[in-house]
Amino acid sequence: MAPTSTTMDHFTLAGVGIGPSNLSLAALLDGIDEVHAAFFDRRPRFQWHPGLMFPSARMQTSFLKDLVTAVDPTNPHSFLNYLVRHGRFYPFLAREQACVGRREFADYMEWVARRLPTLRFGADVGEVRLGARGFELWGEEGRLCVAEHVCVGTGRTPAVPECTRPFLGPRCFHAQGILERELSVAGRSVVVIGGGQTGAEVLLELLQGRWGDPARVSWASRRLNFEPLDESPFTNHLFTPAYVRLFHGLPPSTRAALLEHQRLAGDGISLATLQALHDVVYELHATGRAQLVELLPGRELQGMRPGFELDLRCRLDGAHERLHADVVVLCTGLDDRLPRCLEGLSERLALADGHLEVGPDFAVAWDGPRHHRLFAVNAGRHSLGIAESQLSLAAWRSATIINEVLGRPHFDTEATSLVRWPVAANGPTTRAPACSRREAGRP
């Protein structure tokens, strides 16, 4: 079939953002000529969370959960092909590890990005509008393109505690871009807020002197202990297509309770990081430097004053504590907020508590023309569960979207489940054609 669009700036599908989510979509679309696609990112080139790319950080997911393998294991954009092309297949096998270093995985994705002709970097999409011929993507210098369908993959936004907002600046900041800052903590008191993987990694780097030798580092977490990532076999079944479909069919209150209950499945600390951190803290104690570090689990940040003075409340005994900090690093996670480029369409979107309602076909619920589909990736945690913000199902998610756009099951997205979940999985997600050539361009 010939491409559905003919003009230079008219596409079947336009992607906003080129992180791993939309990169997977672009990689799986490579070679499917019926879908004329273009993807836009504001960065000058592909980069994966450069502000948190610590040299020793490792992936929390297997290399098999790459951009394509789960639905297309012979695809040339697989991690295995990257290894072979770089002459590392045998050394990689000798390591016998499924989780590679974060830097290596980032390099793999950069390699894929360099091979894809559909990616446009240095293009900040300010607004997605609905025009007469479909969606219009607008940037600073005017219209970037027109597209029949759009897939928004702009990532999640740093979550910042309200009380810290007035103090945000060079000495109080979210960890997201910590490696891109000019930072020196030599001789200073540092407080790290947040007991997830990023909090643990930042603490480790601080104690190892990456930004100079601090006078003291305190690590406060609302969680009642510094808790490990749950990677046990049945927890891994939460990251399967069947579970995503089950989750979507549940009432909102049940979904919210499950997200809380399953927090450690996606947001706990890798065992290797916990062990490394424990070793460093133990060594400090064993060598008479215990006062350098203070571990504060079960502490909730309640207020912040100039100076900085932080008010914490202990969740175990209700006691109030005050901490002094010269530098505050917020490792307080990421939120699914309405992507800024969709704000102009917000009245047409179904929003629940400010979150997009995303279906198991990854289409956003909206009142626009049915033949123009608005997809969102890594934006539907509240609709689809914890797997949404991970790489685990990225390839399956992309395949599901491509099937929707093509209106036929190009990829097999069905998989058997070992677990009979209480609500039956909904079956194939591919429904009526999302867009036929006849319909394309209708207002």
Ligand X SMILES: Cc1cc2nc3c(=O)[nH]c(=O)nc-3n(C[C@H](O)[C@H](O)[C@H](O)COP(=O)(O)OP(=O)(O)OC[C@H]3O[C@@H](n4cnc5c(N)ncnc54)[C@H](O)[C@@H]3O)c2cc1C
The footprint of ligand X (CB under 6 A) covers 16-22, 40-43, 48-49, 52, 59-61, 124-125, 153-155, 341, 377-378, 389-392
Could you tell me the smallest distance in angstroms from the CB atom of residue 335 to ligand X? 12
| 3-state SS, residue 436 | coil
- Residue 172 is given by DSSP the state E
Under the phi-then-psi rule, with left for phi > 0, alpha for psi from -120 to 50, and beta for the rest, what region is 96? left
| 3-state SS, residue 340 | helix
User: Tokens in use for 411?
Assistant: 């990829």
Instruction: Pick the closer one to ligand X by CB: 154 or 400.
Output: 154
Measured in Å, how far apart are the chain's first and last C-alpha atoms?
A: 23
Instruction: Pick the closer one to ligand X by CB: 231 or 294.
Output: 231
Q: How far apart are CA 218 and CA 411, in angstroms?
A: 49
Q: How far apart are CA 185 and CA 211, in angstroms?
A: 6
Give me the residues paired with residue 138 across strands. 127, 143
Give me the residues paired with residue 169 across strands. 172
Give me the residues paired with residue 375 across strands. 151, 363
Residue 118: phi and psi, rounded to 5, are: -90, 0
Cα angle vertex 155, ends 154, 157, to 5°? 110
Instruction: Pick the closer one to ligand X by CB: 125 or 269.
Output: 125
Instruction: Pick the closer one to ligand X by CB: 83 or 125.
Output: 125
Please spell the DSSP secondary structure of 116-170, one letter per residue.
Answer: -TTEEES----EEEEETTEEEEEETTEEEEEEEEEEE----EE---GGGGGG-BT
Could you tell me the smallest distance in angstroms from the CB atom of residue 327 to ligand X? 20
Cβ-based neighbour number of residue 5 at 10 Å: 23
All residues at 6 or more sequence positions from 394 whose CB lies less than 8 Å from its CB, including other chains: 20, 21, 24, 65, 67, 377
Instruction: Pick the closer one to ligand X by CB: 197 or 413.
Output: 197
Could you tell me the smallest distance in angstroms from the CB atom of residue 43 to ligand X? 5
Instruction: Pick the closer one to ligand X by CB: 207 or 391.
Output: 391
Instruction: Pick the closer one to ligand X by CB: 150 or 325.
Output: 150
Tokens 């790459």 sit on residue: 66
Could you tell me the smallest distance in angstroms from the CB atom of residue 48 to ligand X? 6
Q: How far apart are CA 350 and CA 358, in angstroms?
A: 9
Could you tell me the smallest distance in angstroms from the CB atom of residue 41 to ligand X? 4
Instruction: Pick the closer one to ligand X by CB: 310 or 379.
Output: 379
Could you tell me the smallest distance in angstroms from the CB atom of residue 225 to ligand X? 22
Could you tell me the smallest distance in angstroms from the CB atom of residue 25 to ligand X? 9
Could you tell me the smallest distance in angstroms from the CB atom of residue 364 to ligand X? 15
All residues at 6 or more sequence positions from 355 whose CB lies less than 8 Å from its CB, including other chains: 336, 338, 379, 380, 381, 382, 383
Could you tell me the smallest distance in angstroms from the CB atom of residue 61 to ligand X? 4
Instruction: Pick the closer one to ligand X by CB: 292 or 363.
Output: 363
Could you tell me the smallest distance in angstroms from the CB atom of residue 42 to ligand X? 4
Could you tell me the smallest distance in angstroms from the CB atom of residue 229 to ligand X? 10
Instruction: Pick the closer one to ligand X by CB: 136 or 308.
Output: 136
| 3-state SS, residue 240 | coil
Instruction: Pick the closer one to ligand X by CB: 236 or 417.
Output: 236
- In this structure, are strands 309-314 and 299-305 parallel, antiparallel, or unpaired? antiparallel
